[in-house]
Structures are given as C-alpha cells and as structure tokens.
Structure 1
Amino acid sequence: MADKKVVIAGATGLVGNAALRHFGRTGTCDVVALSRRKPRELHGARHVSIDLTDPAQCTQAATALQNATHVVYAALYEAPNLIDGWRDPDQIRTNDLMLRNLMAALEPVAPQLRHVALLQGTKAYGVHVRPLTVPAREGRSEMYEQPNFYWAQENFLRELQQGKAWHWSILRPVLIVGEAIGGAMDLIPPLGVYAAMLREQGRPLDYPGGAARVSQAVDVNLLARAIAWSGEAAAARNEAFNVTNGDVFTWENVWPSIAEALGMQPGKPAPLSLAQEYPKWIAPWNELRRKHDLVSPELETFVGLSFQYTDYSMRYGQTQPGPPSIVSTVKINQAGFTEMMDTEAMFRKWFTHARASRLLP
C-alpha cells in the first residue's frame, strides 16, 4: 500500500483538477477525488460522487476516506451572482459547512492524517472591496473585518488542529489560469469562446476589457506543485503563503500573445461585457462544436460563471487605471518553494493546449 493517500475535495474545479493530475502522475500515492460530477480524467484516482453540503453523504463516504494522510481542500460553492456572492452570508455559511462536514467524516477514519491544504486567495486582503496594500503580505495585510468564508474555514481548521499530529497550510493564489470545464473563475473558456466568435467573422481579437491594472497570475500546475510542497515541508506547517508566477502583467501587454496562441491578430480596444453578450453565442457555439468536432460541451456548461469573472478580472466598464493588485511571495520563497513562470508564456501555453485538446477551435 502507498504510504500516502491524498483526498482531493473539489476535483472537477480548476485547482482540484490540477492537484488530481499532479498527484496522479507521481504514481506513488493513492488518490481519492471528491466532487459531485466525475472529472473528465481521473489520472488513476478513485472518484467518489459527493455533495459536501450534505453531512449524510460525507458520512457515507467515510470508507473511501480511510487512512487518508493528506487533504487538498479545493471545493468551493459560489453564488449564481458571482461577485455579489463574495459578500453573501449564505455563501460564507455554505463554504464553512462543506469543510466541517468533510473533516467530521474524515478525521475519525484517518489516524495517520498529516496535512490539510486549504485554498484562499487575494480576497483575504480585501481585493474585492478596497485597493490592496502593495505588496499584500501574509500576517500583515489580512482584512479580517470583511466577512469572508476564508475566515470561517481558517478558524475552524486552527481550532480542530490544536494538539493534533497533523498540520495545515493555507495557499493564497492570485488569478489562476489553467484548464477546467464549467468553473466559476476560469479564464480560458470564456476568452476562447469570445475569440472564436470574432474569428468566425474574420475579425481580429479586439480587447474587451477596461482600463489597465498591474496584477499577477499563477499557472495552475505551478500552484499544484506548491500545494504538494506544503504537504511535506516543515516550514509550511500551520502557515499561510501567497503563490504567484513571480512576475506582474497587464492584460493589454499579454493580449498579443493570447491572440497569437489563438491564431489571430490582436485588435483594438472594444469594451464588451462577455456576461451580457454570451447568450447571443449559444447557438453559434453549438455550430462551431459540430464544425470543428470539439469535445467541449454546450456554452453554459463549458463556461459556468466565468463570463462574469472575466468581466471582473479584465475590469470591463472601468475607465480609470486601477490600483495595482500585487502580493509578496517572499515568504513562500524563503520557506523553500521558489518556482516561477513567465505569465505571457503561461497564457500562450493554456490557449495552445485548449486548442490542441479540442476544447477550442
């Protein structure tokens, strides 16, 4: 039997799916994937269909959770109105409950538990309600006064871990880029669909966002390696870490690389709300799927709430340059995780990959 058993909650999401790929490829551990729907690929993992809001389902899953040594908690409930939902008490309660339900079922059957990795993000610093202190630092810049499910989950884990042999780590990625289907905050499907609509009309890739803001991103595979590192490094025990690619970007500056990866010319600034526009693309998208023999599903299943997230990330409707959104990664670097990636290369990689995988034309 492998000496490591990794339970990944939220295995169909952007981060959970990357963790599934990462741990599955090592071939040295048992992996259990928890999610309501089955991931497209399991990478050798065992899938357990589960709704974490239901304590009875979590209890029923206990046999699959037996002898877990590591938990990657990347499950997430988002409200249908994504941005407003970030401050919704129901969204906070639901996410708190999901983690509690899972740990209540898992801890009693996992006496060898060593580590729980919990995902947060820059909303810990209030990026959704105020300009960030630049750079935002762990332990110094948190906005605990802003209600957030992060604090509910973090406080629960801190209390649960008291006096136990296992440890937790909190990872705070910035804008995450990778491959997923139907997520709430995945940029590749919505931008890929938008590009496909323009290309079909013989148009260049116009820039739909608002005024510039200097910000950061992280490649989801790099994030998965940071999660794996946190599960083994003594310096990561009961600590929170920002995770980024290590550079900064503005959308305007990476736009030509995105256009190139999609086989297009970059166009002009042409502000457009993708969330408002996408209903017009439902039928043309189905036509494109047939024409190009795509494996991606119909539009709303493919993109989820991510049209809303794209408008938010690209600052649609904003006419003044935004305050920089930059976090410090000194802490994680000094603790021993020093990987970096060029953000422009990251965007090229994932758009090229989406086309090669027949998710995009």
Structure 2
Amino acid sequence: MAKENLDTSVALIVGVTGMVGLSLAEALKKPTTPGSPWRIYGMARRQLPAWFPSSLLDDFISADALDRKDTTKKLAPLASQVTHVFWVAIQVGETEEENITSNATMLTNVLQTLKSHPLSPLKHITLQTGTKHYLGPLFDPSLAGQLVHDHEPPFREDLPRLPYPNFYYALEDLVASYAPSVSYSVHRSSLIVGASTRSFYNILLSLSVYATICRYQGLPFRYPGNKFTWENFSDMSDANVLAEQHIWAATTDAAKNQAFNCTNGDVITWKSLWRVLCEIFGVEFVPFDENEKFDWVGFMKEKGKVWSEVVEKYGLVETKLEEVIPSLDSLPIVLSFGFQHVCSMNKSREFGFFGYANTLKSIPMWVQRLRAMKIIP
C-alpha cells in the first residue's frame, strides 16, 4: 500500500498529555514508525505535567482550543508545516449537547487555523472516538434510564447511528466535511488502558488509586459493578495499540476516510481482571456478592485526605483525588452494563491492521508505567 512522502511528516497531536497522546508521541518518535522521520508538535490546554517526557516533542503548544483567538495565535505559525493531525482531545460537560458544542468548537478552531494557510500541507486527520458511538451518551444524567441499546455486540462499524445526541457523530461529520482535500480516519476505542493523569476517563488509574487506598487503610477491595459484568465478556483498548492504529491509518491509502474499531483483539471477564489487580496491588481477592450493595462513589468521595497522605508518604507527583479520578460516576456505570461490551475487529484486520495486546498482560505493564511516572506508589 502506498505510503506518505517520508520527508514531509509533521504531526500535531491535540490532547498530547492524555493516555493516547503520550503513546502517539512515543510511537512517532521511533525511527521504525511508518512515515518516519516525524516532526512532532504536541498541544494541550495546560502545561506539560512533570511526568511527561518533553524530549518526545519537537515543540509543545499550550493553547485553549475553545478560544479561537488563542488557537489562531498559537497554531498559525505551524499551518505551513503540519501534514497530519492526531485528534485525541476531549472536553466533557454536564450534558451531551454541551459536549457537542465544546468538542466541535475545538476541532473547528484547530482545523480552520491550519487550513487558513494558502499552502497548507495538511493531508490527514485521525479522530479518536469510542464505543459510545454504539451505546449513546451513557454519562449524560438528563438521559439516565432513557437510552435503549438497540445494537447487539459485537459492535460493528457499519451499525446505524442511534437517535440520541452524540458528540462523536458531530466530530465524524466535521472531519468528513474536509474530504477529499484532506482525508480522515475514525478510531473507535473500547475502555482505554494507558498512563496519564490528564485523561478524563481513565479506568485503570481509577482502579489503581482505589486499590492503593484499600491497601493503605487495610480495607477490602470490593468490585463496584454488577454480576453481569463480573461474569461476562468485555474488551479493552491498550493506548499503544490505539496509537499504532492511528499512525497506520494516517499512512495507509486504503484506510483513508474509514472508521475502525480498535480493541486489543481479545476479551476478558472482570472477575479474571480483578484477580490480576489484587495480585498487582497486594490486596485480598474478594468474590463478588450481589447481595452486598457497595456505594463506590460515596466511598471514594471521602478519601481525598487519604490520597493526599499517600502522595506525600511515597513522594508521588502531587495530585488531588479529583485530578486522578475526575469522573467518579463513570466507573460504576461501565461496570454495571447489562450487555457484553465487545467490538468486532474484523474490518480493521480486513483492511490490514493487525495490532493487538494481551489485556491481562497489558494491565500490569501500564500499572508499572504509572509507578515509574510516580503517579501511584
């Protein structure tokens, strides 16, 4: 399959400090990566955190993509250089309508700034979305109990859109509007596993902090979900596999203007994963008991001071509990599904992408990364 010109690969990673952003920067830095050598620009709203290796980037741009003037000021000097945009940013509001407005505004501001240059070399946009494409806006409290999951797993890319507001749909339509002059690819992840304190939804970090607190206080590490997810299949997306798929699609002609699921390619049960987490964090395995109600959100809301003690005792990167788990409500929702959260990877494989990860080996690897980054002890 035809590849891009090796001399003109200039990446702008928007959302570089998130889980997939970090993995993208690391992958693009490797000399064996398709399209190499890459010049790598990273963009995020806040400054780089202490754990992010700045040597991965040729330059870092701190800009608020919601602010058109700030975006134009910071990105206009790059508009004659950037050939590929890797969009792994997210803004989360109270409702899905807010999400549509804010995320579409950010993407519009970035793309219009880059395309405003008369000689813009922009070739491709990769767009990170997820399985809410098939499930609807799960975390919108105004729609609680109203969503009907019409699609049966395994979820396929050709399933029709659901009749609910969804910022993923808005962003897909937005990037498609730039074709054919700029190609695009959409990457629908499952539950992402990676290392960052700047990802709004980070299920592994949430569980790692929870397990750390349980061990620190000698409390039982109880499963905050339902019996169905405990016993039935789910899949996950390793951030490194996601980064690999983004780059593959950005540099492979046949993958242009397509949407692809991206999971590790295997399935796990939360029961099996819970055993792995117990071993990693040195806590006792507690079998799930559906007769025992456990208010995980209420439990964690009381642990802010405890987490601060842990951070100080172990000399960790200074974080508050609400920073490392910004969305307490999302974990119990994800662990209380009444369906198997599984996506088909057939289309991706048929198009030539064969990246994969062993989920039960991926988890301890990422926990080790979080420890090396001094985010958890």
State if a TM-score over 0.5 links the two structures: yes
- SS state of the match for residue 362, structure 2? helix
In 2, Cα distance between equivalents of 1:36 and 1:159: 25
- SS state of the match for residue 160, structure 1? coil
- SS state of the match for residue 51, structure 1? coil
In 2, Cα distance between equivalents of 1:120 and 1:142: 16
- 1:101-151, Cα deviation, whole Å (9 max, x unpaired): 111101133622221001111111125333332222112x13242221122
- 1:206-265, Cα deviation, whole Å (9 max, x unpaired): 322222232210101111111111101112110000011011122112111111112333
In 2, Cα distance between equivalents of 1:297 and 1:134: 37
2:323 maps to 301
CA shift for structure 1 position 267: 2.0
In 1, Cα distance between equivalents of 2:304 and 2:113: 41
User: Counterparts of 1:61-210 in structure 2 under 5 Å?
Assistant: 61=74, 62-79=76-93, 81=94, 85=95, 88-109=96-117, 111-126=120-135, 128=138, 129-131=147-149, 132-139=151-158, 141-162=159-180, 164=181, 166-210=182-226
2:294 aligns with one of 239, 252, 272: 272
- 1:58-99, Cα deviation, whole Å (9 max, x unpaired): 2112103431011001111101x4xxx3xx312211111111
In 2, Cα distance between equivalents of 1:237 and 1:230: 7
Structure 1, unmatched stretches of 5+, are none
- 1:287-316, Cα deviation, whole Å (9 max, x unpaired): 1111111124121122222x222222222x
1:17 maps to 22
2:65 maps to 52
In 2, Cα distance between equivalents of 1:282 and 1:45: 37
The code of the aligned residue for 1:56 comes to K
Contact 2:40 2:57 (8 Å CA) reproduced: yes
In 2, Cα distance between equivalents of 1:332 and 1:22: 19
2:331 maps to 310
The code of the aligned residue for 1:154 comes to E
Contact 2:129 2:189 (8 Å CA) reproduced: yes
Contact 1:9 1:16 (8 Å CA) reproduced: yes
- SS state of the match for residue 266, structure 2? coil
Contact 1:71 1:117 (8 Å CA) reproduced: yes
Between the two proteins, the alignment pairs up a number of residues equal to: 346
Instruction: Give RMSD over aligned pairs.
Output: 2.0
User: Counterparts of 1:202-351 in structure 2 under 5 Å?
Assistant: 202-213=218-229, 214-269=233-288, 271-305=293-327, 307-315=328-336, 322-351=338-367
Contact 2:192 2:238 (8 Å CA) reproduced: yes
The code of the aligned residue for 1:121 comes to G
Of the structure 1 ranges 111-120 and 172-181, higher mean CA displacement relative to structure 2 is found in 111-120
In 1, Cα distance between equivalents of 2:204 and 2:156: 28
In 2, Cα distance between equivalents of 1:357 and 1:48: 22
CA shift for structure 1 position 271: 4.8
Identical aligned pairs, as a percentage? Answer: 27
Q: 1:177 to 1:244 in 2, by over 3 A?
A: same
CA shift for structure 1 position 204: 4.7
- 1:25-64, Cα deviation, whole Å (9 max, x unpaired): 4472111111111233231331111111111112112103
Q: What is the TM-score with the length of structure 2 in the denominator?
A: 0.86
Contact 1:71 1:116 (8 Å CA) reproduced: yes
The code of the aligned residue for 1:286 comes to S
In 1, Cα distance between equivalents of 2:84 and 2:252: 13
Structure 2, unmatched stretches of 5+, are 1-5, 139-146
In 2, Cα distance between equivalents of 1:328 and 1:114: 28
In the alignment, structure 1 residue 353 sits paired with structure 2 residue 343: no
- Detail structure 1 runs of 4+ shifted over 4 Å in the superposition: none
Contact 1:216 1:249 (8 Å CA) reproduced: yes
- 1:140-171, Cα deviation, whole Å (9 max, x unpaired): x1324222112212212222224x1x310011
In 2, Cα distance between equivalents of 1:149 and 1:206: 33
2:47 maps to 38
In the alignment, structure 1 residue 7 sits paired with structure 2 residue 31: no
